[in-house]
Amino acid sequence: MSAAAGVAGAIVTLTANPSFDRTVALPGPLERGAVVRVEAMTSQAGGKGVNISRAAVAAGLPTIAVLPARPDDPFVHELEVAGIDCRPSRPAGDIRVNLTLTEPDGTTTKLNGPGAAVATEHLDDLAAALVSSAAGGAWTVLAGSLPPGASSDYYADLVARLRGVSRVAVDTSEGPLAALVDRLPGAAPDLLKPNAEELASVTGGDAAQLETDPALTAKAARTLVDRGVGAVLATLGARGAVLVDAHGAWHAPAPPTVVVSTVGAGDCTLFGYLLAEQRRLDPPDRLALAVAYGSAAAGLPGTTIPGPDDLHPERVVVQQL
């Protein structure tokens, strides 16, 4: 098998704007202007796609992580040590740093770096690495922000290129999400995972209302399914998630969880759905496993990815809408 070949049944992830994720645990509420002695600080190679690949390794699924980095970068080495098949492409510069501040009550503040500005040749190399790695894979996940210099249409273009190669899931926001929705059904992914704010931004709804009203969330998500999206998995924070596909709509509230850090919870929710789909579970059970993964992640510190022993899908109650 060549270095660029795909892996049968793999979950292939693209992290176009990877980051070293540094998490600072505060001893109390954040006080602006104060000097604070932190309780703990961690650093991990991260990004939304990377988080999904970590979850796949923990669940025993094959995965490939595609990202812009030098092959000898410590970022790549960390992923390889973690058991992730990493496919780096030519980077435009150093990997950015994202800083997360967590308070004891679960409040999370994120300070995200912009990333290195890319040129067309960097994006072309990244796309080529992704398409070749996706061959034979079960799912390809386009996740997170795009680096400075990338067109907002980049994900929409990739969805079109990946048709016939792999099923595609997309988890992004702002310009890339708007561009994708503008190009429906031509750029319709098999799965779209917005949160309430992201869903509202492309359907004209009110994010606060969607967050509290699963039926309204389902109605908004239905407009995207009607335009060609295979399924919409809308995350609602502590209120769980809503799943809408061509056959129905379901809501699963999050089970009682002591929230430690919400960083990566949405990524784990998406992975839980993909894992359930790999197991050929029906839509309600896919939603249950997705919410179980997201809740487990929220109960763990920093960007800790839950493993099978952390999950309790039996505590998730799914309701048809």
pLDDT, tens digit, 9 for 90 and up, residues 294-303 = 999 887 876 7
Residues 139, 291: Cα–Cα separation, whole Å: 19
Q: Which residues of 199-218 are buried (b: 16+ CB within 10 A; e: fewer)?
A: bbbbbebeeeebbebbebbb
Terminal alpha carbon distance of the chain: 46
3-state DSSP call for residue 315?
helix
Query: Does residue 267 have an active-site annotation?
Result: yes
Length of the chain: 321
State pTM to two decimals.
0.90
Q: Which of 245, 267, 285, 310 is catalytic?
A: 267
Q: If one looks up domain 11-30+37-320 in CATH, what number appears?
A: 3.40.1190.20
Q: Which tens digits make up the pLDDT trace of 26-47?
A: 999 999 999 999 988 888 898 9
Report the C-alpha gap between 321 and 236 in whole angstroms.
15
Whole-number pLDDT of residue 279: 94
Contacts 24+ apart (CB under 8 A), 107-112: 107/29, 107/30, 108/261, 108/262, 108/263, 109/30, 110/263, 112/19, 112/145
Give the pLDDT score at 28.
Answer: 93
CA 107 to chain centre: 20
Element (H, E) at 100: strand 96-102
Q: How far is CA 30 from CA 41, 135, 192, 261, in A?
A: 15, 46, 34, 15
For the chain, 321 residues long, give each residue's pLDDT as a single digit of tens.
344 677 888 999 999 999 998 989 899 999 999 999 998 888 889 899 999 999 999 999 999 999 999 999 999 999 999 999 999 999 999 999 999 898 888 788 989 989 999 999 999 999 999 999 999 999 999 999 999 999 999 999 999 999 889 999 999 999 999 999 999 999 999 999 999 999 999 999 899 999 999 999 999 999 999 999 999 999 998 899 999 999 999 999 998 877 777 778 899 999 999 999 999 999 999 999 999 999 998 878 767 888 888 888 889 999 999
